Amino acid sequence: MSTTAQITTTSPEPQSISSAKGSELTGSQAVLEACIVEGVSTIFGYPGGAIMPIYDALYDYNDKLKHILVRHEQGGIHAAQGYARASGKVGVVFATSGPGATNLVTGLADAMIDSTPLVAITGQVFAHLLGTDAFQETDVVNITTPVTKWNYQVTDATEIPAVLAKAFYIARSGRPGPVLIDITKNAQIQKFRYEGYTPCNHVRSYRPKPIVRKEYIEEAARLINAAEKPFVVFGQGVILGKAEKEFKAFIEKAGIPAAWTILGLSALPTDHPLNVGMLGMHGNYGPNVMTNECDVLIAVGMRFDDRVTGRLDKYAKQAKVIHLDIDPSEIDKNVKATVGVWGDCKETLPMLTKLVEAKVYPQWVEKFRACDAEENKEVIFEELHPSTEKMTMGEVMRNLNELTGGNAVIVTDVGQHQMVACRYAKFNQSKSNITSGGLGTMGFGLPAAIGAKFGAPDRTVIAIIGDGGMQMTIQELGTIMQTGVDVKILILNNEFLGMVRQWQQLFNDRRYSFVDIASPDFVMVAKGYGIAGNKITDRADLKAALQAMLDHKGSYLLEVMVGKENNVFPMVPQGCSVSEVRLK
Amino acid sequence: MTKQEFTITVYTENHIGLLVRIATMFSRRKINIESLNTSPSEAEGIHRFTIVIHETEEVVRKLARQIEKQVEVLKAYYNNNEEIVWQELALYKVPTDEIAEKVKVERLLREYGARAVVIRKDYTIFETSGHREETDKLVEVLAPYGLIEFVRSARVAIIKQSKGFHEKLKEFEQTEPGEELVENEYLDKQDEVFSM
């Protein structure tokens, strides 16, 4: 037998792989079988030395698994996040060892803090080389420990079916999160007798959700029934728990006004009469002020992030707090709960709905509306119908809403445009708002939008991105080019790193330090990637340009030049109480 | 709330990498671990971490929940010093000549409950176990006589109220735990309850 590799000039036909019980599979094939059984339709990834056996196996699985070749592993994992958030399924990303794996870290951290179910599979050097500083070896398991819900290194192929079953189960159950499985090259190559794939539904040391105790529901209902000014604040838990209906039924019966965190957005339709808007630093005036006026605060699937609460020692001190969460470590973490209801809100909300009295609080809801009127007068009207020469981000959103009717998936990057988009975008259905909330990852938007389109192929996906964030993962235009995925890219260009500039203006005496960012000709860059585009600077062109973007068959990039020094208001300055929210 | 010594007892699976996962819970919050011990527990296949930190109860309670959240952790308890019985082991190496000539070895052994583990011509190794103040005292006593080496182990502790982990493990092994045994929601009453 010759040891020199034959250089083949033509590629062979893919083979048909039998995955019957008792057949012989390689570790790599077992990985792909797991993805198929788990219902993964799309994998995002990038090949490299240590993951080559898995990519070799993919060659034969091309008809069953769609693999999207990204341009950078960070793009791959953000795409998997977008896929997961739009579809409600587990996102999967492949990367090689060393730099491939370390490029996943930002996405893992983002998925960890935003509770996104992911399974990341990384190649690793041969087991006998572990710890020798081999080529492209990094200690991926230890690097990713703080940013994964669970991680594990496989060195033997026979472990693969059970480990992957556990990985998918842990990623999606309880409070979801990212799981990383690092597989040494020898385990990918190793052949073993395949005994089939059994999905996991129990891990001894892990209890994703408890049996709900009625006493706590009863106590919560008692507080709610006695309340005069109850207020609901909800987060992504409602979406992750697939409990949108249950949530709506609860607030409608109890008649309680409800405000959302940035990740809870779209769980309740924008125009629902009890939807009183957005919480937090750039949230609406009413929800922030009323947080410190309500008598019972009911938090559903949210974690009292500092951007939501502002100064904690002045947060809702007058209120009794009911906190419904699936993660017991969140209860009492930031805000002390009068009643902590540990459980899946899909189960706890209907139990609570049953016990609460059907009520309405017209005077109380009116107070929110009065705040709305104030905010409208001071901020919103001018933002949506500006009298300035330059366009505002808000008016772009208003025009977009009119054209989409609130039916599009809106993916945002991070910064001013994100706050404006979340404040003003209209949503009719859940899982429509995809953004990097907890980690605030610039560069998230474009790749996440690509993933979102694969996760929700029948929906219009619009990526709204700033000029700074666009340049962080602009390489993913290549992924759009190659796959032909239909993503509408709307760049709101203010020629600044706007949010940092806003802070420098307000808090650093206008000392604009390195926020003046130059941009390439985005439309020409898109053209280079074969993507159609347009740039507008005049208000007169806005609506038609947005319409052209939406009507275009395939991807499209629209760059809108907006006012350079516009600020996002209202704002709860850092270190201030939510009731100190500033309108200007 | 004032800081005091707390002992965190963590029942875990025996899993590579879990030590790092637990250690980062502390380092991430810039909390110094005073002592850390891992050992088998009363339940077969279940490991037991004993971690001592000096913190407020509020911080410790949140930490225990974060630790318990880790997939391979079955249960994390925290206790103050009144709620546990604990020991630390210490070894002292001293020159045999000095000891034999200048100290009444017998008195040493009696007063400090020390035990000679090794006696050689050149050195003698004593062992004591007890609380930190006790093992520290013997260091002071031996220092003038040329203490060559001293080492103290991490704390090991038994929770006075604990009934052990055997019954709880059976619960964990079931896919659907029985309602009467799921004492989970009493989030602040950690002892009688079962917050898996």
Average pLDDT over residues A154-163: 98
Task: Assess contact for A187 and A316: CB atoms under 8 A.
Answer: no
One-letter amino acid at A307 equals R
Contact check, Cβ <8 Å, A211/B179: yes
Query: Does residue A124 surpass a pLDDT of 90?
Result: yes
**Which among A150, A201, A210 has the least Cβ separation from residue B71?**
A150
One-letter amino acid at A193 equals R
Q: What percentage of chain A carries pLDDT values higher than 70?
A: 99
Tell the burial category of A519 from Cβ atoms under 10 Å away from its Cβ (0-12, 13-18, 19+). middle
What does each C-alpha distance from A101 to A98, A137, A183, A443 come to in angstroms? 5, 10, 11, 18
Tell the burial category of A134 from Cβ atoms under 10 Å away from its Cβ (0-12, 13-18, 19+). middle
Contact check, Cβ <8 Å, A329/B69: yes
Rounded to the nearest angstrom, the minimum Cα separation between A213 and chain B is 7
Q: What is residue B168's predicted lDDT score, i.e. its pLDDT?
A: 86
Q: Which residues of B touch A150 (CB under 8 A)?
A: 71-72
Mutate: best of A204, A216, A338, partner B, most B CBs <10 A:
A204
**Residue A328 touches partner B, C-beta closer than 8 Å:** yes
Tell the burial category of A507 from Cβ atoms under 10 Å away from its Cβ (0-12, 13-18, 19+). exposed
* DSSP bridge partners of B73: B12
Q: Which residue of A has its CA nearest to B27?
A: A146
d(CA B80, CA A121): 42
Query: For A277, phi and psi rounded to 5 degrees?
Result: 115, -160
Q: What percentage of chain B carries pLDDT values higher than 70?
A: 88
d(CA A232, CA A274): 10
Give CA B14 to chain center in angstroms.
18
Average pLDDT over residues A90-109: 98
Q: Which residues of A touch B60 (CB under 8 A)?
A: none
Query: Does residue A233 surpass a pLDDT of 90?
Result: yes
Contact check, Cβ <8 Å, B17/A145: yes
Rounded to the nearest angstrom, the minimum Cα separation between B161 and chain A is 22
Residue B32 gets the label, from left (phi > 0), alpha (psi -120 to 50) or beta, of beta
Contact check, Cβ <8 Å, B182/A210: yes
Contact check, Cβ <8 Å, A206/B71: yes
Q: What is residue A3's predicted lDDT score, i.e. its pLDDT?
A: 57
d(CA A347, CA A353): 10
Rounded to the nearest angstrom, the minimum Cα separation between B36 and chain A is 19
A364-385 pLDDT, tens digit per residue, is: 999 999 999 999 999 999 999 9
Q: Mean pLDDT across chain A, nearest whole number?
A: 96
Q: What is residue B141's predicted lDDT score, i.e. its pLDDT?
A: 87
Q: What is residue A4's predicted lDDT score, i.e. its pLDDT?
A: 61
Structure tokens at A124: 């690793």
Q: Which residue of B has its CA nearest to A329?
A: B65
Contact check, Cβ <8 Å, A201/B175: yes
Signed CA dihedral, B139, B140, B141, B143: sign only: positive
One-letter amino acid at B15 equals H
Signed CA dihedral, A495, A497, A503, A507: sign only: negative
Contact check, Cβ <8 Å, A142/B12: no
Q: Which residue of B has its CA nearest to A215?
A: B185
| Own/partner pairs, A210-214, CB within 8 angstroms, 24+ separation | A210/A328, A210/A342, A210/A343, A210/B182, A210/B184, A210/B185, A210/B196, A211/B177, A211/B179, A211/B182, A211/B184, A212/A341, A212/A342, A212/A343, A212/A344, A212/A347, A212/A348, A212/A351, A212/B185, A213/B184, A213/B185, A214/A351
Give the DSSP H or E segment for A107.
Answer: helix A105-113
Residues B68-85: b if buried by 16+ CB within 10 A, e if exposed: bbbbbbbbbbbbeeebbe
Contact check, Cβ <8 Å, A145/B71: no
CB atoms within 10 A of CB A151: 25
Q: What percentage of chain A carries pLDDT values higher than 90?
A: 95
The total number of residues shown for chain A amounts to 584
Domains of chain B in sequence order? 4-84+157-181 (3.30.70.260), 86-152 (3.30.70.1150)
d(CA A569, CA A576): 15
A173-205 pLDDT, tens digit per residue, is: 999 999 999 999 999 999 999 999 999 999 999
A281-298 pLDDT, tens digit per residue, is: 999 999 999 999 999 999
- Residue A365, CB-side half-sphere exposure with 13 Å CA sphere: 16
A562 DSSP 8-state letter = B
**Residue A215 touches partner B, C-beta closer than 8 Å:** yes
Query: Does residue B103 surpass a pLDDT of 80?
Result: no
| pTM of the predicted structure, to 2 decimals | 0.95
Identify the band that residue B171 occupies on the pLDDT scale cut at 50, 70 and 90: confident
Rounded to the nearest angstrom, the minimum Cα separation between B57 and chain A is 13
Identify the band that residue B181 occupies on the pLDDT scale cut at 50, 70 and 90: very low
CA-based angle A169:A173:A175, to the nearest 5? 140
CA-based angle A368:A370:A375, to the nearest 5? 90
What dihedral do alpha carbons B20, B25, B27, B30 form, nearest 10°?
180
Mutate: best of B13, B16, B185, partner A, most A CBs <10 A:
B185
One-letter amino acid at A89 equals K
**Which among A145, A206, A216 has the least Cβ separation from residue B24?**
A145
Contact check, Cβ <8 Å, B187/A332: yes
**Residue A169 touches partner B, C-beta closer than 8 Å:** no
Structure tokens at A524: 């020409």
Contact check, Cβ <8 Å, B187/A342: yes
Signed CA dihedral, A229, A235, A237, A240: sign only: positive
* DSSP bridge partners of A154: A183
Query: Does residue B182 surpass a pLDDT of 70?
Result: no
Average pLDDT over residues A564-583: 95
B3-29 pLDDT, tens digit per residue, is: 999 999 999 999 889 999 999 999 999
Signed CA dihedral, A172, A174, A179, A183: sign only: negative
Complex ipTM > 0.85: yes
B126 DSSP 8-state letter = E
Task: Assess contact for B123 and B95: CB atoms under 8 A.
Answer: yes
Query: Does residue B82 surpass a pLDDT of 50?
Result: yes
Signed CA dihedral, A276, A282, A288, A289: sign only: negative
**Which among B20, B182, B187 has the least Cβ separation from residue A340?**
B187
One-letter amino acid at A352 equals L
Q: Which residue of B has its CA nearest to A151?
A: B17
Contact check, Cβ <8 Å, B62/A203: no
Spatial neighbors of A115 by CB under 8 A, at least 6 apart, are A175, A176, A177, A236, A240
B104-114 pLDDT, tens digit per residue, is: 777 777 788 89
d(CA A249, CA A374): 29
Structure tokens at A298: 């009911």
What does each C-alpha distance from A268 to A260, A274, A426, A427 come to in angstroms? 9, 9, 11, 8
Q: Which residues of A touch B20 (CB under 8 A)?
A: 142, 145
Interface of B with A (CB under 8 A): 12-13, 16-17, 20-21, 24, 28, 61-62, 65-66, 68-69, 71-74, 172-173, 175, 177, 179, 182, 184-185, 187-188, 195-196
Domains of chain A in sequence order? 24-193 (3.40.50.970), 214-367 (3.40.50.1220), 391-565 (3.40.50.970)
- Lowest pLDDT segment from A6-20, A145-159, A351-365, B4-18: A6-20
Average pLDDT over residues B62-73: 95
B36-48 pLDDT, tens digit per residue, is: 999 999 999 999 9
Average pLDDT over residues B44-57: 96
Q: Mean pLDDT across chain B, nearest whole number?
A: 87
A54-85 pLDDT, tens digit per residue, is: 999 999 998 999 999 999 999 999 999 999 99
Tell the burial category of A13 from Cβ atoms under 10 Å away from its Cβ (0-12, 13-18, 19+). exposed
CA-based angle B166:B171:B172, to the nearest 5? 95
CB atoms within 10 A of CB A200: 17
Q: Which residue of B has its CA nearest to A209?
A: B196
Which residue numbers of A are catalytic?
A: 73, 135-136, 185, 499
Q: Which residues of A touch B74 (CB under 8 A)?
A: 204-205
d(CA A289, CA A275): 15
Choice between A562 and A8, residue whose per-residue pLDDT is larger: A562
Contact check, Cβ <8 Å, B13/A204: yes
